[in-house]
Amino acid sequence: MSILTAAILGLIQAATEFLPVSSTAHLLVFGELFGQKLSDDRFRAFSTIIQTGTTLAVIAYFRSDLVKLVQAALRSIAHRSPLESAESRLAWFIVLGTIPAALFGKLFEHRIESLGNWVIAGSLVVLGLVLFGAEVAARHTRTMAELGATDAILVGVGQAMALVPGSSRSGCTMTVGMLLGFRREDAARFSFLLSVPIILGAGLYKLKKDLPYLAGEPSWRTATLVGTTIAAVGGYFVIGWLLRYLRTQTVYLFVAWRILAGLAIAVLIWRGVLPSGSGDPPPPQASSSVLQP
Protein backbone atom coordinates (compact mmCIF):
# COMPACT_ATOMS: atom_id res chain seq x y z
CA MET A 1 0.00 0.00 0.00
CA SER A 2 1.28 3.46 -0.90
CA ILE A 3 1.61 6.27 1.62
CA LEU A 4 -0.92 8.32 -0.37
CA THR A 5 -3.50 5.54 -0.25
CA ALA A 6 -2.90 5.10 3.49
CA ALA A 7 -3.32 8.85 4.07
CA ILE A 8 -6.59 8.94 2.11
CA LEU A 9 -7.98 5.94 3.98
CA GLY A 10 -6.89 7.53 7.27
CA LEU A 11 -8.84 10.66 6.35
CA ILE A 12 -11.86 8.57 5.40
CA GLN A 13 -11.68 6.74 8.73
CA ALA A 14 -11.42 10.05 10.62
CA ALA A 15 -14.29 11.65 8.70
CA THR A 16 -16.74 8.76 8.97
CA GLU A 17 -16.00 7.00 12.29
CA PHE A 18 -18.10 9.36 14.38
CA LEU A 19 -20.64 10.48 11.81
CA PRO A 20 -23.71 8.20 11.55
CA VAL A 21 -22.68 7.01 8.08
CA SER A 22 -20.59 3.84 8.75
CA SER A 23 -16.82 4.15 8.60
CA THR A 24 -16.50 0.41 7.90
CA ALA A 25 -18.59 0.71 4.74
CA HIS A 26 -16.52 3.61 3.45
CA LEU A 27 -13.21 2.02 4.39
CA LEU A 28 -13.98 -1.32 2.73
CA VAL A 29 -15.46 0.22 -0.41
CA PHE A 30 -12.66 2.74 -0.91
CA GLY A 31 -10.16 0.01 -0.11
CA GLU A 32 -11.65 -2.09 -2.91
CA LEU A 33 -11.54 0.87 -5.28
CA PHE A 34 -7.85 1.37 -4.41
CA GLY A 35 -7.17 -2.28 -5.14
CA GLN A 36 -7.08 -3.50 -1.52
CA LYS A 37 -8.95 -6.68 -0.61
CA LEU A 38 -10.26 -7.62 2.81
CA SER A 39 -9.11 -11.16 2.06
CA ASP A 40 -5.55 -9.74 2.17
CA ASP A 41 -4.40 -10.22 5.77
CA ARG A 42 -2.26 -7.10 5.55
CA PHE A 43 -5.19 -4.87 4.56
CA ARG A 44 -7.38 -6.39 7.27
CA ALA A 45 -4.64 -5.61 9.79
CA PHE A 46 -4.36 -2.06 8.40
CA SER A 47 -8.14 -1.57 8.68
CA THR A 48 -8.10 -2.84 12.27
CA ILE A 49 -5.19 -0.74 13.45
CA ILE A 50 -6.26 2.62 11.98
CA GLN A 51 -9.56 2.24 13.86
CA THR A 52 -7.52 2.38 17.07
CA GLY A 53 -6.49 5.85 15.93
CA THR A 54 -10.05 7.14 16.14
CA THR A 55 -10.47 5.32 19.46
CA LEU A 56 -7.53 7.35 20.78
CA ALA A 57 -9.30 10.46 19.46
CA VAL A 58 -12.35 9.70 21.63
CA ILE A 59 -10.19 9.12 24.69
CA ALA A 60 -8.26 12.35 24.08
CA TYR A 61 -11.38 14.45 23.47
CA PHE A 62 -13.29 13.13 26.49
CA ARG A 63 -10.24 12.65 28.72
CA SER A 64 -11.59 14.85 31.53
CA ASP A 65 -14.98 13.13 31.49
CA LEU A 66 -13.41 9.69 31.44
CA VAL A 67 -11.13 10.45 34.39
CA LYS A 68 -14.11 11.68 36.41
CA LEU A 69 -16.16 8.62 35.48
CA VAL A 70 -13.41 6.18 36.46
CA GLN A 71 -12.81 7.98 39.74
CA ALA A 72 -16.53 8.04 40.52
CA ALA A 73 -16.87 4.34 39.71
CA LEU A 74 -13.97 3.45 42.02
CA ARG A 75 -15.41 5.58 44.83
CA SER A 76 -18.81 3.92 44.41
CA ILE A 77 -17.18 0.51 44.72
CA ALA A 78 -15.37 1.57 47.89
CA HIS A 79 -18.60 2.98 49.33
CA ARG A 80 -20.67 0.06 48.01
CA SER A 81 -23.08 2.55 46.49
CA PRO A 82 -22.94 2.45 42.66
CA LEU A 83 -25.58 5.16 42.21
CA GLU A 84 -24.25 7.62 44.77
CA SER A 85 -23.53 10.42 42.28
CA ALA A 86 -24.37 11.49 38.74
CA GLU A 87 -20.86 10.51 37.58
CA SER A 88 -20.98 7.05 39.16
CA ARG A 89 -24.44 6.39 37.71
CA LEU A 90 -23.21 7.33 34.24
CA ALA A 91 -20.10 5.17 34.64
CA TRP A 92 -22.11 2.09 35.57
CA PHE A 93 -24.71 2.79 32.89
CA ILE A 94 -21.86 2.77 30.34
CA VAL A 95 -20.78 -0.64 31.68
CA LEU A 96 -24.39 -1.84 31.45
CA GLY A 97 -24.76 -0.55 27.89
CA THR A 98 -21.53 -2.27 26.82
CA ILE A 99 -22.80 -5.77 27.63
CA PRO A 100 -25.13 -6.33 24.61
CA ALA A 101 -22.45 -5.52 22.02
CA ALA A 102 -19.80 -7.58 23.80
CA LEU A 103 -22.16 -10.55 24.02
CA PHE A 104 -23.45 -10.43 20.44
CA GLY A 105 -20.00 -9.66 19.08
CA LYS A 106 -18.60 -12.82 20.62
CA LEU A 107 -21.55 -14.99 19.54
CA PHE A 108 -21.79 -13.84 15.93
CA GLU A 109 -18.28 -12.63 15.02
CA HIS A 110 -17.62 -15.16 12.24
CA ARG A 111 -21.07 -14.85 10.66
CA ILE A 112 -20.85 -11.07 10.63
CA GLU A 113 -17.45 -11.10 8.93
CA SER A 114 -18.81 -13.19 6.06
CA LEU A 115 -21.53 -10.69 5.08
CA GLY A 116 -20.99 -9.05 1.72
CA ASN A 117 -21.28 -5.67 0.04
CA TRP A 118 -25.00 -6.03 -0.70
CA VAL A 119 -25.55 -6.08 3.06
CA ILE A 120 -23.49 -2.90 3.40
CA ALA A 121 -25.53 -1.16 0.70
CA GLY A 122 -28.82 -2.30 2.21
CA SER A 123 -27.82 -1.32 5.76
CA LEU A 124 -26.82 2.15 4.66
CA VAL A 125 -30.19 2.79 3.01
CA VAL A 126 -32.54 1.04 5.44
CA LEU A 127 -30.96 2.38 8.62
CA GLY A 128 -30.68 5.79 6.99
CA LEU A 129 -34.47 5.75 6.67
CA VAL A 130 -34.75 4.66 10.31
CA LEU A 131 -32.52 7.59 11.30
CA PHE A 132 -34.85 9.86 9.33
CA GLY A 133 -37.83 8.46 11.24
CA ALA A 134 -36.06 9.05 14.55
CA GLU A 135 -35.38 12.67 13.64
CA VAL A 136 -39.04 13.23 12.76
CA ALA A 137 -40.52 11.39 15.75
CA ALA A 138 -38.07 12.33 18.51
CA ARG A 139 -38.90 14.91 21.19
CA HIS A 140 -35.27 16.11 21.53
CA THR A 141 -35.83 17.21 25.14
CA ARG A 142 -34.03 14.77 27.46
CA THR A 143 -30.45 15.30 28.64
CA MET A 144 -27.80 12.85 29.83
CA ALA A 145 -28.68 13.78 33.41
CA GLU A 146 -31.98 11.95 32.85
CA LEU A 147 -30.34 8.75 31.57
CA GLY A 148 -31.58 5.59 33.26
CA ALA A 149 -30.63 1.93 33.31
CA THR A 150 -33.28 1.00 30.73
CA ASP A 151 -32.04 3.76 28.41
CA ALA A 152 -28.46 2.47 28.71
CA ILE A 153 -29.50 -1.08 27.87
CA LEU A 154 -31.56 0.00 24.85
CA VAL A 155 -28.77 2.18 23.48
CA GLY A 156 -26.42 -0.75 24.14
CA VAL A 157 -28.69 -2.96 22.01
CA GLY A 158 -28.39 -0.31 19.29
CA GLN A 159 -24.62 -0.57 19.61
CA ALA A 160 -24.90 -4.35 19.19
CA MET A 161 -26.87 -3.80 15.97
CA ALA A 162 -23.81 -2.03 14.61
CA LEU A 163 -22.19 -5.45 14.17
CA VAL A 164 -23.95 -5.52 10.78
CA PRO A 165 -21.62 -3.95 8.19
CA GLY A 166 -22.85 -0.61 6.93
CA SER A 167 -25.07 0.06 9.94
CA SER A 168 -22.73 2.50 11.78
CA ARG A 169 -22.15 2.23 15.51
CA SER A 170 -22.71 5.94 16.08
CA GLY A 171 -25.72 5.87 13.75
CA CYS A 172 -27.44 3.03 15.61
CA THR A 173 -26.77 4.43 19.08
CA MET A 174 -27.76 7.97 18.14
CA THR A 175 -30.95 6.70 16.51
CA VAL A 176 -31.97 4.81 19.64
CA GLY A 177 -31.01 7.76 21.82
CA MET A 178 -33.18 10.14 19.81
CA LEU A 179 -36.09 7.70 19.81
CA LEU A 180 -35.82 7.68 23.61
CA GLY A 181 -36.30 11.45 23.53
CA PHE A 182 -32.72 12.64 24.04
CA ARG A 183 -31.39 15.77 22.41
CA ARG A 184 -29.17 15.11 19.42
CA GLU A 185 -26.02 16.37 21.12
CA ASP A 186 -26.70 14.33 24.29
CA ALA A 187 -27.44 11.21 22.24
CA ALA A 188 -24.13 11.70 20.41
CA ARG A 189 -22.17 12.38 23.61
CA PHE A 190 -23.46 9.21 25.29
CA SER A 191 -22.77 7.31 22.07
CA PHE A 192 -19.13 8.42 22.14
CA LEU A 193 -18.65 7.61 25.83
CA LEU A 194 -20.36 4.25 25.39
CA SER A 195 -18.01 3.41 22.52
CA VAL A 196 -14.84 3.62 24.59
CA PRO A 197 -14.94 0.27 26.48
CA ILE A 198 -16.18 -1.87 23.59
CA ILE A 199 -14.05 -0.36 20.84
CA LEU A 200 -10.96 -0.21 23.03
CA GLY A 201 -11.41 -3.82 24.15
CA ALA A 202 -12.24 -5.12 20.68
CA GLY A 203 -9.46 -3.00 19.18
CA LEU A 204 -6.80 -4.40 21.51
CA TYR A 205 -8.05 -7.94 20.86
CA LYS A 206 -7.98 -7.46 17.09
CA LEU A 207 -4.63 -5.71 17.29
CA LYS A 208 -3.10 -8.73 19.00
CA LYS A 209 -4.57 -11.03 16.34
CA ASP A 210 -3.79 -8.99 13.23
CA LEU A 211 -0.52 -7.20 14.02
CA PRO A 212 1.63 -10.27 13.20
CA TYR A 213 0.44 -10.01 9.58
CA LEU A 214 2.53 -6.84 9.23
CA ALA A 215 5.70 -8.52 10.45
CA GLY A 216 8.31 -8.45 7.71
CA GLU A 217 6.25 -5.85 5.77
CA PRO A 218 8.02 -2.50 6.33
CA SER A 219 6.01 -0.64 3.68
CA TRP A 220 2.75 -1.81 5.21
CA ARG A 221 3.92 -0.87 8.71
CA THR A 222 4.79 2.63 7.52
CA ALA A 223 1.46 2.97 5.71
CA THR A 224 -0.41 1.78 8.80
CA LEU A 225 1.41 4.28 11.01
CA VAL A 226 0.54 7.11 8.62
CA GLY A 227 -3.12 6.07 8.36
CA THR A 228 -3.50 5.65 12.12
CA THR A 229 -1.93 9.03 12.89
CA ILE A 230 -4.16 10.83 10.41
CA ALA A 231 -7.24 8.97 11.71
CA ALA A 232 -6.42 9.97 15.31
CA VAL A 233 -5.76 13.66 14.63
CA GLY A 234 -8.61 14.04 12.16
CA GLY A 235 -11.04 12.11 14.36
CA TYR A 236 -10.41 14.48 17.29
CA PHE A 237 -11.56 17.48 15.25
CA VAL A 238 -14.52 15.61 13.75
CA ILE A 239 -15.90 14.87 17.24
CA GLY A 240 -15.87 18.55 18.18
CA TRP A 241 -17.43 19.56 14.88
CA LEU A 242 -20.22 16.99 15.14
CA LEU A 243 -21.19 17.95 18.70
CA ARG A 244 -21.36 21.62 17.68
CA TYR A 245 -23.32 20.76 14.54
CA LEU A 246 -25.94 18.72 16.39
CA ARG A 247 -26.69 21.54 18.82
CA THR A 248 -28.52 23.44 16.10
CA GLN A 249 -28.90 21.13 13.09
CA THR A 250 -30.91 18.02 12.22
CA VAL A 251 -29.44 14.70 11.03
CA TYR A 252 -31.00 14.98 7.57
CA LEU A 253 -27.56 15.60 6.02
CA PHE A 254 -26.42 12.18 7.24
CA VAL A 255 -29.66 10.52 6.13
CA ALA A 256 -29.06 11.77 2.59
CA TRP A 257 -25.38 10.77 2.81
CA ARG A 258 -26.29 7.21 3.84
CA ILE A 259 -28.91 6.74 1.14
CA LEU A 260 -26.70 8.12 -1.63
CA ALA A 261 -23.74 6.02 -0.45
CA GLY A 262 -25.88 2.88 -0.30
CA LEU A 263 -27.25 3.46 -3.80
CA ALA A 264 -23.76 4.21 -5.14
CA ILE A 265 -22.42 0.95 -3.69
CA ALA A 266 -25.36 -0.97 -5.16
CA VAL A 267 -24.62 0.51 -8.61
CA LEU A 268 -20.92 -0.36 -8.30
CA ILE A 269 -21.81 -3.95 -7.38
CA TRP A 270 -24.32 -4.20 -10.24
CA ARG A 271 -21.74 -2.91 -12.73
CA GLY A 272 -19.12 -5.32 -11.43
CA VAL A 273 -16.80 -2.66 -10.04
CA LEU A 274 -17.25 -4.06 -6.53
CA PRO A 275 -17.74 -7.75 -5.69
CA SER A 276 -21.11 -8.72 -4.26
CA GLY A 277 -19.39 -10.61 -1.43
CA SER A 278 -16.84 -9.40 1.05
CA GLY A 279 -14.43 -12.19 0.22
CA ASP A 280 -13.95 -15.42 2.05
CA PRO A 281 -14.24 -14.98 5.81
CA PRO A 282 -10.96 -15.41 7.67
CA PRO A 283 -10.37 -18.72 9.37
CA PRO A 284 -11.50 -18.88 13.02
CA GLN A 285 -7.98 -18.76 14.43
CA ALA A 286 -7.24 -15.53 12.53
CA SER A 287 -10.58 -13.91 13.21
CA SER A 288 -11.62 -11.47 15.88
CA SER A 289 -14.66 -9.79 17.28
CA VAL A 290 -15.75 -6.99 15.00
CA LEU A 291 -17.81 -4.01 16.07
CA GLN A 292 -18.64 -1.96 13.03
CA PRO A 293 -18.33 1.71 13.66
Reported as a pLDDT band with limits 50, 70 and 90, residue 283 is very low
Cα angle value 45/51/56 (rounded, 5°)? 130
Q: Kindly tell me if the per-residue pLDDT of 288 is higher than 50.
A: no
pLDDT score recorded for residue 157:
92
Q: Mean pLDDT over all residues of the chain? A: 84
Q: Kindly tell me if the per-residue pLDDT of 293 is higher than 60.
A: no
Q: What percent of the chain has pLDDT over 70?
A: 90
Q: What is the DSSP letter of 291?
A: -
Residue 291 forms part of a structural domain: no
Residue 293 forms part of a structural domain: no
Which phi and psi (to 5°) does residue 148 adopt?
-120, 175
Q: What is the DSSP letter of 282?
A: P
Structural domain range at position 113: 3-286
- Cα–Cα distance measured from residue 191 to residue 1, given in angstroms and rounded to the nearest whole number: 33
Number of folded domains in the chain?
A: 1
- Cα–Cα distance measured from residue 38 to residue 106, given in angstroms and rounded to the nearest whole number: 20
Residue 292 forms part of a structural domain: no
Q: Kindly tell me if the per-residue pLDDT of 132 is higher than 50.
A: yes
Taking the alpha carbons at both ends of the chain, their separation in whole angstroms is 23
Residue 192 forms part of a structural domain: yes
Can you say whether residue 22 is alpha, beta or left, with left for phi > 0 and alpha for psi between -120 and 50 degrees?
A: left
- Helices 184-210 and 41-61: crossing angle in degrees, nearest 10, is 140
pLDDT tens per residue, range 85-117: 888 889 999 999 999 888 877 776 666 655 677
Residue 123 forms part of a structural domain: yes
- Cα–Cα distance measured from residue 280 to residue 276, given in angstroms and rounded to the nearest whole number: 12
Q: Kindly tell me if the per-residue pLDDT of 284 is higher than 60.
A: no
pLDDT tens per residue, range 227-276: 999 999 999 999 999 999 999 999 999 999 999 999 998 998 888 877 77
Residue 68 CB-density burial (10 A; 0-12 exposed, 13-18 middle, 19+ buried): middle
Range 112-139 average pLDDT: 86
Q: Kindly tell me if the per-residue pLDDT of 285 is higher than 60.
A: no
pLDDT score recorded for residue 287:
34
CA 44 from centroid of its chain's CA atoms: 16
pLDDT tens per residue, range 1-16: 889 999 999 999 998 9
Range 140-169 average pLDDT: 89
Question: Cβ neighbours of residue 284 under 8 Å, at least 6 residues apart?
Answer: 110
pLDDT tens per residue, range 178-198: 999 999 999 999 999 998 888
Kindly provide the residue ranges of all beta strands, DSSP E only, lying in the chain, ordered along the sequence: none
Residue 196 forms part of a structural domain: yes
Reported as a pLDDT band with limits 50, 70 and 90, residue 286 is very low
pLDDT tens per residue, range 23-38: 878 888 888 888 887 6
Q: What is the DSSP letter of 33?
A: H
